Amino acid sequence: MINTERLADTFSSLVRIDSLSRQEKEVSKVLQGILSDLGAEIFIDDAGDKLDGNAGNLVARFKGMVNVEPLMLCGHMDTVEPGKGIDPYLDNGIFRSTGDTILGADDKSALAVIIEVMRVIRENRLPHGPIEVVFTVCEEAGLLGAKHMDLSLIESKMGYILDATDTGGIFTRAPFASRFNITFNGKSAHSGASPEKGVSAIVLASKMISALPWGRIDHETTCNVGKIEGGVATNIIPETAVLLGEVRSHSREKMEDIIQAIRTTSERVVAEARETSPDEKFPTVDIHFQEDFPGTNIPDDHPEIGRAHV
C-alpha cells in the first residue's frame, strides 16, 4: 500500500527546505499544511521562544476510530551543518546530495515515512486508534526541542521515534550522559622575563587529563575531553584553560563515579599547585556538570517491543 514514488517525492521536497537547528520555521509550515490536509489538529508549543529559535515543536493529533490508547510517531525537523541549499538526486535507487551539503535524511526520511503512513491510513480507511505525530526542533543541538516540549500537548503514553539507519532494528537502550565545563584559573606572567611569577592553567589542565582514563572506560561507559581553550600568546603564561567534555554510561552509578573522579582530580591538582604558587589566591578551578539526557532501558519483553516487530 505504500506509494514509493510519492514517498520519494515527499522526501526530496522536504530535504530541499533549509532547516538548521533553530531555523525550522519553513519546513514546519510545510509539514503543518500536509498534516492539516490529512485531517490532523495542529498544535505548536513555545519551545522556539525558549531556545531562541523561529519554530516550536509540532504536534498533530489524528482522531482514532478504535478505542485504544493513543500512539505517538516522532521525528525531528532540524538538520546539521552544512544544510543550506541541499540539492538531492536519485542514483540507482539511492538518494544522494551533490556533495557540497549533507543530504538531510537525518531526519527528513523519518518525516516523509510518517507522512506516507498517515496518507496510506487515510486513503485505505484503515482502522486505528488516536495517533499523535510529533516533530521536534533542535534535536541536533542536544535534544533541546524534546527537553523543552510542552508535555501537556502529548496524550500518548508510548510511541516510536524514527531516527536510525537500521530500518529493521529497534533501539531500546541509551546511556546516561552528562557534560562538563571545567575552568582552571592560573596567573599570567611574561614567560621569558618572569615565568616564576605565573601559574600555567594549561599545565594544570594537562595534569588533570593525564591523571585520568579517557575514551572507552568499560563496555558501557565512555568519557571524553572534546575541546580545550586557553592562552593568548606564546610569551604569556596562560591564566585560564577551559575543558569541555562529556561522560556517558548505561549505569548511572558508573557515570557518577567518573564525574566524582574528574572533580576530585581537578581539585587535587589545584591544591598541589597552590603549595608552590607565587600567589596564595591562585590557582583555582571552577567545575560544572550538567545532565545531558537520562538513560533508557526498555525490557526486551515489553509489549510495545513485540508490537513493533509485528
Contacts of 133 (CB under 8 A, 6+ apart): 35, 40, 58, 59, 60, 61, 62, 72, 73, 74, 114, 118
E-strand stretches of 94-198: 94-97, 131-136, 158-161, 173-174, 176-185
Distance CA 33, CA 207 (A): 56
Q: How many CB atoms lie within 10 A of CB 138?
A: 28
CA-based end-to-end distance of the chain: 17
Are 226 and 292 contacting, i.e. CB atoms less than 8 angstroms apart? no
Active site residue 301: no
Active site residue 78: yes
Q: How many CB atoms lie within 10 A of CB 86?
A: 22
Element spanning 240, H or E: strand 240-249
Residue with cell 529493521: 168
Distance CA 259, CA 130 (A): 43
Q: How many CB atoms lie within 10 A of CB 254?
A: 18
Work out the angle at residue 236's Cα, subtended by the Cα atoms of residues 231 and 241, and round it to the nearest 5 degrees.
Answer: 25
Catalytic member of 24, 45, 78, 239: 78
Catalytic member of 116, 139, 140, 239: 139
Cis geometry, peptide bond prior to residue 107 (ω within 30 degrees of 0): yes
Residues designated as active site: 78, 139
